[in-house]
Structure 1
Amino acid sequence: MSGPSRDTPIGADSPSPNPDQEAQQIVRQRVTNRAFNDWYSEQQFQTNILEGKAYFNGPSPPKDPERHSPSKLLQCHRKASYARKNAPREGTPPEGLFWIGSEFEEQVIVPFLQHITTPETYVANSLWIDTEFVVDGTSLQVRGSTDPAIVNADAEPLFLTEIKTTTSVDHLSGPKPHHRAQLHAYLYALNNEYDHSITDGMVVYGSRTTLDIEAFHIEFDPVFWERVVEWMATQTEYEQACELPPAIPERDWECNYCSFKHRCGEADSPYADTGSDGLLPVFDQYDRHNLQEYIDAHKERDARLTPTLAHQFPDLAEEYGVYNWRCSGCGGSFEWNTVDWDGNTDDLPFCPDCAEAGDLVTLSGPEAGSQLNADRE
Structure 2
Amino acid sequence: MSDPSRDAGLGPASSPSNTGFDAQQVVQDRITNRAFTEWYSEQQFQTNILEGQAYFNGPSPAKDPERHSPSRLLECHRKASYARQNAPREGTPPQGLFWIGSEFEEQVVVPFLQSITTPDTYVTNSLWIDAEIEAEGTQHTIRGSTDPAIVTADAEPLFVTEIKTTTSLDHLSGPKPHHRAQLYAYLYALDQEYDHSITEGMIVYGSRTTLDIKPFHVEFDPDVWERVVDWMRAQTEYEQAGELPPATPEREWECNYCSFKHRCGQADTPYTDIGIEGLLPVFDGYDRQNLREYLDGHVDRGARLTPTLAHQYPEFAAEYGTYDWSCSSCGESYGWDELDWDGDTDDLPFCPACIELDNLVTLSGPEADVQLNIA
Per the TM superposition, whether the score is higher than 0.5 is yes
Q: Which residue of 1 aligns with 2:205?
A: 205
CA distance in 2, matches of 1:202, 1:35: 40
**What secondary structure does 2:252 align onto?**
coil
**What secondary structure does 2:132 align onto?**
strand
Q: Which residue of 2 aligns with 1:306?
A: 306
CA distance in 2, matches of 1:312, 1:57: 24
Q: Which residue of 2 aligns with 1:369?
A: 369
| Residue 147 of structure 2 corresponds to residue 147 of structure 1 | yes
Q: Which residue of 2 aligns with 1:277?
A: 277
Q: Which residue of 2 aligns with 1:59?
A: 59
Q: Which residue of 1 aligns with 2:240?
A: 240
Q: Which residue of 2 aligns with 1:260?
A: 260
CA distance in 2, matches of 1:15, 1:240: 70
| Residue 108 of structure 2 corresponds to residue 116 of structure 1 | no
Q: Which residue of 2 aligns with 1:33?
A: 33
**What secondary structure does 2:244 align onto?**
coil
For residue 363 of structure 1, report the CA deviation from its aligned partner: 0.3
**What secondary structure does 1:133 align onto?**
strand
Q: Which residue of 2 aligns with 1:289?
A: 289
Identical counterparts, % of pairs: 75
Once the two structures are overlaid, the 10-residue window that deviates more, 307-316 or 136-145, is 307-316
CA distance in 2, matches of 1:48, 1:85: 23
The code of the aligned residue for 2:21 comes to Q
CA distance in 2, matches of 1:157, 1:40: 35
Q: How does 1:96-115 map to 2 (within 5 A)?
A: 96-115=96-115
For residue 373 of structure 1, report the CA deviation from its aligned partner: 1.8
Q: Which residue of 2 aligns with 1:20?
A: 20
Q: How does 1:208-227 map to 2 (within 5 A)?
A: 208-227=208-227
The code of the aligned residue for 1:38 comes to E
CA distance in 2, matches of 1:73, 1:347: 41
For residue 253 of structure 1, report the CA deviation from its aligned partner: 2.1
CA distance in 2, matches of 1:228, 1:250: 14
For residue 16 of structure 1, report the CA deviation from its aligned partner: 4.2
The code of the aligned residue for 1:193 comes to E
Q: How does 1:128-143 map to 2 (within 5 A)?
A: 128-143=128-143
The code of the aligned residue for 1:21 comes to F
The code of the aligned residue for 2:252 comes to D
Q: Which residue of 1 aligns with 2:326?
A: 326
For residue 14 of structure 1, report the CA deviation from its aligned partner: 6.6
For residue 31 of structure 1, report the CA deviation from its aligned partner: 1.1
**What secondary structure does 2:337 align onto?**
helix
Q: How does 1:350-365 map to 2 (within 5 A)?
A: 350-365=350-365
Once the two structures are overlaid, the 10-residue window that deviates more, 42-51 or 209-218, is 42-51
How many pairs were matched up?
362
* Coordinate RMSD, CA, aligned: 1.1
- Return the TM-score normalized by structure 1: 0.94
CA distance in 2, matches of 1:252, 1:114: 39
Q: Which residue of 1 aligns with 2:4?
A: none
CA distance in 1, matches of 2:261, 2:37: 25
CA distance in 2, matches of 1:268, 1:38: 30
Q: Which residue of 2 aligns with 1:349?
A: 349
Q: Which residue of 1 aligns with 2:80?
A: 80
Once the two structures are overlaid, the 10-residue window that deviates more, 78-87 or 365-374, is 365-374
**What secondary structure does 1:338 align onto?**
coil
The code of the aligned residue for 1:322 comes to T
Where does the alignment leave 5 or more consecutive residues of structure 1 unmatched?
Answer: 1-12
**What secondary structure does 1:42 align onto?**
helix
For residue 302 of structure 1, report the CA deviation from its aligned partner: 1.1
**What secondary structure does 1:218 align onto?**
strand
For residue 33 of structure 1, report the CA deviation from its aligned partner: 1.0
CA distance in 2, matches of 1:16, 1:258: 53
CA distance in 2, matches of 1:320, 1:309: 11
The code of the aligned residue for 1:275 comes to G
State the Cα deviation string for residues 99-138 of structure 1 (Å, max 9, x = none). 0000000000000000000001000000000111211001
| Residue 191 of structure 2 corresponds to residue 156 of structure 1 | no
